[in-house]
Chain A
Amino acid sequence: MFAAENGLKGDPRLQAISDAIRVVPHFPKPGIMFQDITTLLLDHKAFKDTVDIFVDRYRDMDISVVAGVEARGFMFGPSIALAIGAKFVPLRKPRKLPGEVIAETYDLEYGSDRLEMHVGAVQPGERVIVIDDLVATGGTLSAAIRLLERVGAQVVECACVIGLREVKGQRRLNGKPLYILVEPREIDGCY
């Protein structure tokens, strides 16, 4: 569900966040309009507003874990976790986490990848939000949800700055609510 449809309609912060995101055509390959959040991180006010919108939403929802998907989820998750008094749990690519892990495989366009989480980072019954910069097909977030549910955690919501067209109209992913701040911008004249 988009923030503008859920209490933040007309909020000027959302337009500024959207405008701060750079669109890079044909990256990583022709036809992809890459939504580059690094320019949002250069705009202190827009970056702070991004974090504040998530913090305002989650601070009273009794969330004890913010799980962030490597690597761009690491740029947003810890600030949210610190502000709401939650733990930050990184969900990482294979062989980065040094302790005992559980892993979940997910499909890519070609082939598959794996997401790992430390055993013991999240306890059964904990209320968790999952953060990433962008949701496209939802494959990565679905793997994250499966990891967390395997350890008995309750995934309350998945939160992303940007949600692609494929998820528009889907309020849920794997049965979990999705909360998204902005849609991707196109560049006029670029296909």
Chain B
Amino acid sequence: MASQDEQDPRISNISSAIRVIPDFPKPGIIFQDITTLLLDTKAFRDTIDLFVERYRGKDISVVAGIEARGFIFGPPIALAIGAKFVPMRKPNKLPGEVLSEEYSLEYGKDTMEMHVDAVKAGERALIIDDLVATGGTLSAAIRLLECVGVHVVECACVIELPELKGRERLGGKPLFVLLSST
């Protein structure tokens, strides 16, 4: 986890650029809205830089981003570190041959898909999403990539909701976040 005792000075501006919206999508949920971060050109730039600084030069060839907000952060990171960008999508969006992984939601299930020929066994991958809550989505992405022999180096998110213990559901994979929201 990003060190809190030596917090990078860029983190506090990133944190204050994120808008908190109560009772979305339903009563009792406090939604972390990163769209306001994307309106703050310096804070958005700093967010990407913090990830790029961590992952550049680590022989990572795949950045997998989870639909849809992972598509906002993943490609700039991939471009900066010289990696491919692989979208992990909702069902029936990817046109080629896919692998599918089901995962649990609070009520019911969903499915995540990846193109089978997007990655090769032995590649080193990062998984990016805007936020980690229960870890269900990230762990589905980990399973999809590992299924074809990719080594998931780390999961990376802007925000973690630590009370939901997503960190413990990643099959031992490390999680790096910029902000923790309680």
Interface residues of A, Cβ cutoff 8 Å to B: 22, 24, 27-28, 34, 36, 38, 41-44, 47-48, 51, 70-72, 74-76, 78-79, 81-82, 85-90, 92, 95-99, 118, 121
Contact = CB atoms under 8 A, between A and B. Distances in A.
B71 interface: yes
Contacts of B89: 71
Interface string B124-160: 0000000000000000000000000000000000000
Contacts of A95: 25
Q: Which 8 A-B pairs have the closest CB atoms?
A: A74-B71, A24-B95, A27-B95, A98-B24, A41-B85, A88-B38, A98-B21, A42-B84
B166 interface: no
Given A38-B94, A70-B68, A118 B41 contact: no
Contact of B41 (A27, A86, A96, A98): A86
Interface in B10-38: 19, 21, 24-25, 31, 33, 35, 38
B21 A41 contact: no
Contacts of A76: 75
B86 A41 contact: yes
B48 A82 contact: yes
B96 interface: yes
Contacts of B48: 82
B161 interface: no
Contact of B76 (A22, A78, A92, A99): A78
B39 A75 contact: no
19 contacts: A36-B95, A38-B87, A38-B96, A38-B118, A44-B84, A71-B67, A74-B68, A78-B44, A78-B75, A81-B44, A82-B44, A82-B45, A82-B48, A90-B68, A96-B68, A98-B21, A99-B21, A99-B33, A99-B35
